[in-house]
Structure 1
Amino acid sequence: MAEINHFEYGWITPSLSYALSVLGSILGLICAGRIRTAGSAGQRAWWGLLAAWALGGTAIWAMHFVAMLGFAVDGTRIRYDVPLTVASTAIAVVAVGIGLAIVGTGRLNPVRLIAGGIFTGAGVAAMHYTGMTAMRLNGSLGYDTNRVALSVVIAVVAATVALWLAMTVRRGLAIVASALVMGVAVNGMHFTGMSALSVHRHEDQAEVSGAGMSTLLVPIVLAVIFGVVGLLYALLAAPTDDDRAAAAYLDSRRASEPAAAAPPAAPDPVGLRARSTLGQPGTPFPSRREMPPR
């Protein structure tokens, strides 16, 4: 049995992972709030996609791999299978997106909330253990069944609470407080699942294939930075409720204003206006009575 260290760099990695989960939760809750006020199906799909990326991609997946920076196994190097790592990203984003679609279409009720929470929680747990399966080291992995089950329960409960908050929380202070709670739940699920892991190291010192964490760190950091910047730009560029209310007020004012009256015609005592139209197509020739006096 190999010795495992979950905090090789002390509290730096768990602190960074918690900060990432809180940041992603804040952005995800704000984007989810825009789903409720969207005026069309296309806008709802757009904000749902952004919320899924913020929650699934940043608050969950990026948090997982930042926390994995502090994971080490005595006597072996750790590398990662890139396709499985990418697949774990897709699992997290798609699971959150489907969960938001379940609770965000129609009236929110307990059945929708529980169904969305179960699906999303199972997806989050699948993301975590897919990421663990992507590890390549000189040994074999084992899991404690009870702790794995506990981590899945935590994931389902955390996902259910997150979806409920996404559909109900609107105010700034409430969003921040909810994100702090969600950060605790996401990190709690991660480290509970990690505590279920055991490694049986192989005696032979075979070469470990795959990408090192230092190789994956740069694209992960760039993806997080560009993702957060893109989310912030989308939120800042989108019209707020106040903007929409102001636009509706201006439209109602324009609709209620009377049409501008035509200016009074200038006097034409000698019939110059009538004479100027003679001979033009569609102009009837005036009768003798209509002719001006000479």
Structure 2
Amino acid sequence: MGEGLELFTMGTWVLVLAYLTSTIGVFVGVTSARKMRTTSNSRLRSYWSVLAALVSGGVGIWLAVFLPMVGFAVDGSAVRYDMLTIAFSMLVAVVSVFVALAVALPAEGSGGPGRRIAGALVLGAGLAAVPFTILWAVRIQGTLDFDPMWLLGALALALVTAVGFMAQVETADTWPKRLLSSALAGAAVIAVHFLTGASVGVTVDPAVPAPTGIEVFSILFPLFVVGLLLLAVPIVAVLLTPDRVAAQLEREVDAWIAEGEGAGSTTAPATSPSGDRAGRDVAAPTH
């Protein structure tokens, strides 16, 4: 990290908030991805895949990575952001998750190890690109440059994180497993951001005009509210969606009861009010 650059001017509470945002986003996103993985309905599959991409990519990655930028400051220069580049970074986060899930979890059949590895590569590349593109959007009274060694370290950690995310989708079948793995993934996402931040060097030039663009809070506050609302959609959907195992058991019980009632109606002897067999008083046929 170059001289004159600060990453924690707002204190460590922002780091804690970013970590919690990433953890919750990954947790809800993985839950949505598992719903996508287990459903056989194509429309529901598309619904859950879009939700997983929006929540995991938009909240668990992009919003969590952008939150620490409120502490980003450069001595001797104002900091502004290019909106088009910021929008592109959001697109990278969401699309990389969507494509990774589509590659690793095809609609027909189960994805093999090769497809899961390919999906993890796509997701890892997207995760590494998000903090880089956010920092690329920074405008200062001077220039920014990046140390490639730190960027390679961020890419390596992003790939490992992506492998862990895909493993969650495959194996985390209970919420405690998902919560634990999401907590680890959240820490890794924030670490990727700060590894990328450590690669930045700044050169302030008073001769350069003051930067143009938008301030960080002009972007962050409305998108943070949108992110919270976005989290509520899959949470409500998961709560309203019946558990598949419980539903299957209920169907089996209903079928068993119906079968038992049907068998009882054909085999049970009919009786008269006096308790004798219904046909006992019928006269025998005469010859």
Letter in 2 for 1:103: A
The answer as to 2:238 corresponding to 1:235 is yes
Structure-2 residue corresponding to 1:18: 19
Q: Which has the larger radius of gyration?
A: 1
The answer as to 2:4 corresponding to 1:3 is yes
Range with greater deviation from structure 2 (123-132 or 188-197): 123-132
Structure-1 residue corresponding to 2:81: 80
Q: State the aligned residue count.
A: 261
C-alpha distance in 2 between matches for 1:248 and 1:110: 34
The answer to whether the 8 A contact 2:78-2:210 is kept is no
Matches within 5 A, 1:185-264: 185-204=188-207, 206-249=209-252, 252-253=255-256, 256=259, 258=262
C-alpha distance in 2 between matches for 1:254 and 1:223: 48
C-alpha distance in 2 between matches for 1:13 and 1:258: 65
Task: Identify unmatched segments of 5+ residues in structure 2.
Answer: 267-287
Matched residue SS, 1:69: helix
Task: Identify unmatched segments of 5+ residues in structure 1.
Answer: 262-294
Matched residue SS, 2:71: coil
Structure-2 residue corresponding to 1:280: none
Letter in 1 for 2:184: V
- Runs of 4 or more, structure 1, over 6 Å off, are none
The answer as to 2:70 corresponding to 1:69 is yes
Matched residue SS, 1:141: strand
The answer to whether the 8 A contact 2:24-2:60 is kept is yes
Cα deviation for residue 110 of structure 1 reads 2.6
C-alpha distance in 2 between matches for 1:39 and 1:248: 17
C-alpha distance in 1 between matches for 2:105 and 2:82: 35
C-alpha distance in 2 between matches for 1:184 and 1:143: 23
- Aligned partner of 1:159 among 159, 162, 168: 162
Q: Write the deviation string for residues 248-269 of structure 1: whole angstroms up to 9, x where unpaired.
A: 23663586454999xxxxxxxx
Structure-2 residue corresponding to 1:288: none
Range with greater deviation from structure 2 (108-117 or 181-190): 108-117
Aligned residues with identical type, % of pairs: 29
Q: Write the deviation string for residues 11-61 of structure 1: whole angstroms up to 9, x where unpaired.
A: 111111101010011101211221232121222221111111121111100
Q: Write the deviation string for residues 69-115 of structure 1: whole angstroms up to 9, x where unpaired.
A: 11111111111111221121111111011111111123343312221
Range with greater deviation from structure 2 (215-224 or 199-208): 199-208
Structure-2 residue corresponding to 1:113: 116
TM-score (norm 1): 0.83
Q: Write the deviation string for residues 144-165 of structure 1: whole angstroms up to 9, x where unpaired.
A: 1111111111111111111111
